[in-house]
Chain A
């Protein structure tokens, strides 16, 4: 199965549980890295959850569209610099994202899923950091 298909299938599973997934993601992130909480004061919790789910879904939907990804990740990188996000914070987010996905997928989480998400997140982080 292609990485794109694995990413989409796992994301469909986690999004089926309404807004539990984005909420849980932030819980995990702030539990492991409480210092990240200070960066999320500009938007209300539900708005932040919605933005996160929408952005993640769009990135996965376009994972096979390099032109779209480059455009989107460049904008994302510029915005994140403005929010005060520093390079060492990207692994924190990746770690929380993988942990939440693992938890939400339960038995449906496979080694293929672990590898596809880890590789994709690493590639996207590289693209973001190289454009700042």
Chain B
């Protein structure tokens, strides 16, 4: 009897294949600003091999195959028309990948190449670096897979807000959309975690909009604004004249959200005893009682809660009721989306303010077109270590508009004072070791706000990020 032989491929189990399948990443040049082709912002030039980059189609004597900008989305990898900017030479750059996140660039064209503000003819750049082609284009170097995470089929124009208002074409933006869609499909309670300004309510609305509950009214409330003595009445409702004479009957947020989604923002501010009161209603039956009523009611609601606090601040059994936890990426985690978010903020501003539109925007065929935006502002925003994310970007935009002296949006002294370089903040983080962080927390009564101030950090979120990085938490005296 001859022995049966198996190949390695046959022996490999399907679940192991899934675990070991990490898509290969390549450096990409993502268009962040373009004088002549602003409609192509967010498109990316993948550098899989040595590549010629320039205006127009392939040339007979190109030193390497030519690549143009692509619109990359889940299940879609579409090469756009050749670069059309008059300021970019027919043969402008030769790019060669060096690993997954580094690319060697050689400038061979008429327009000057700048990296880190300095004119160069040849350089190695890494993910996060910014490449300028003088007065023609700004590219962000990013490391991405060629295929983006699978996501539900959402139809909206490239670079525009999706049907739920989320803006972004980056890997993290699409990964978020995929997570939101999955959570929406399961009808389980969801906890959204993210710093202030990352779009927690937008994400909650997306979950509602993608779920089978979308026909019902979305109920939203900020837990931090509820007076402590009335939290239970707000959540569960009350019968008439209870607990105080003259009180009208109220269904409570839970009753109001029956068949729909209840969004509770800043759930981390809910006192522990109120978290305990919610445990029963968060179980499958959704049972609860209005205050002053013996009858047990049921509400088929889905809770989407959000917090910017460390999860340790929530009671563990309350936390366990949330089947899905979705961590929202901040702008520093999706830098390639900064130009698109900026463009959307400006578009919205122009729509609502004709004076701003007339002063700062081009007009084409009688319509408001692209903003007159200084490339150096985009370069600096791509390097800015955002801590309040979209809200902070919005504030910088308004500051630039309010302090502009000409008819373009650029860096004024007031804007300059707000902008920092992510490299500076990185070096700042390096100096703060684990012990220094732990000591600062202990010396400041474990208050992240006071400890951050004592350490000279911009705000408590910077400290919270550093604590996470070092495996420390605000509460624990002796972290492992």
**Is B364 close to A, CB under 8 A?**
yes
Given the complex of chains A and B, what is the CA–CA distance between A44 and B84 in angstroms? Answer: 20
**Is A42 close to B, CB under 8 A?**
yes
Q: A54-B36, A61-B55 known; A46 and B365 CB under 8 Å?
A: no
Given the complex of chains A and B, what is the CA–CA distance between A78 and B65 in angstroms? Answer: 36
On whether the beta carbons of A57 and B86 are closer than 8 Å, the reply is yes
Q: Helix, strand, loop or mixed for chain B's interface?
A: loop
**Interface residues contributed by chain B, number (CB under 8 Å):** 20
User: Nearest residue in A to B370 (C-beta to C-beta)?
Assistant: A47
User: Nearest residue in A to B56 (C-beta to C-beta)?
Assistant: A61
On whether the beta carbons of A56 and B362 are closer than 8 Å, the reply is no
Chain A residues whose C-beta falls within 8 Å of the C-beta of B365 in the assembled complex: 42-43
Given the complex of chains A and B, what is the CA–CA distance between A54 and B87 in angstroms? Answer: 9
Q: Helix, strand, loop or mixed for chain A's interface?
A: helix
User: Nearest residue in B to A83 (C-beta to C-beta)?
Assistant: B365
* Closest CB in chain B relative to A65 CB, distance in Å: 9
User: Nearest residue in B to A61 (C-beta to C-beta)?
Assistant: B56
* Closest CB in chain B relative to A34 CB, distance in Å: 22
Chain B residues whose C-beta falls within 8 Å of the C-beta of A61 in the assembled complex: 55-57, 90
**Is A112 close to B, CB under 8 A?**
no
User: Nearest residue in A to B358 (C-beta to C-beta)?
Assistant: A44
Q: A46-B372, A47-B369 known; A57 and B55 CB under 8 Å?
A: yes
Chain A residues whose C-beta falls within 8 Å of the C-beta of B395 in the assembled complex: none
Q: A15-B110, A54-B36, A61-B55 known; A46 and B362 CB under 8 Å?
A: yes
Given the complex of chains A and B, what is the CA–CA distance between A43 and B55 in angstroms? Answer: 25
**Is A73 close to B, CB under 8 A?**
no
**Is A8 close to B, CB under 8 A?**
yes
**Is A18 close to B, CB under 8 A?**
yes
Q: Mark A34-68, 1 if CB is under 8 A from B, else 0.
A: 00000000111011001101101110011000000
Q: Tell which of B89, B363, B366, B372 touches A12, judged by Cβ atoms closer than 8 Å.
A: B89
Tell me the chain B residues, 72-98 only, with Cβ under 8 Å from chain A: 84-87, 89-90
User: Nearest residue in B to A22 (C-beta to C-beta)?
Assistant: B86
**Is A123 close to B, CB under 8 A?**
no
Chain B residues whose C-beta falls within 8 Å of the C-beta of A111 in the assembled complex: none
**Is A16 close to B, CB under 8 A?**
yes
Chain B residues whose C-beta falls within 8 Å of the C-beta of A57 in the assembled complex: 55, 84, 86
On whether the beta carbons of A42 and B364 are closer than 8 Å, the reply is yes
**Is B35 close to A, CB under 8 A?**
yes
Q: Tell which of A16, A43, A53, A62 touches B363, judged by Cβ atoms closer than 8 Å.
A: A43
Residues of A within 8 A of B (CB): 8, 12, 15-16, 18, 42-44, 46-47, 50-51, 53-54, 56-58, 61-62
Extra contacts, 10 of them, besides A57-B84, A57-B86 (Cβ < 8 A), are: A12-B110, A18-B87, A42-B364, A42-B365, A42-B366, A44-B362, A44-B363, A50-B36, A54-B84, A61-B90
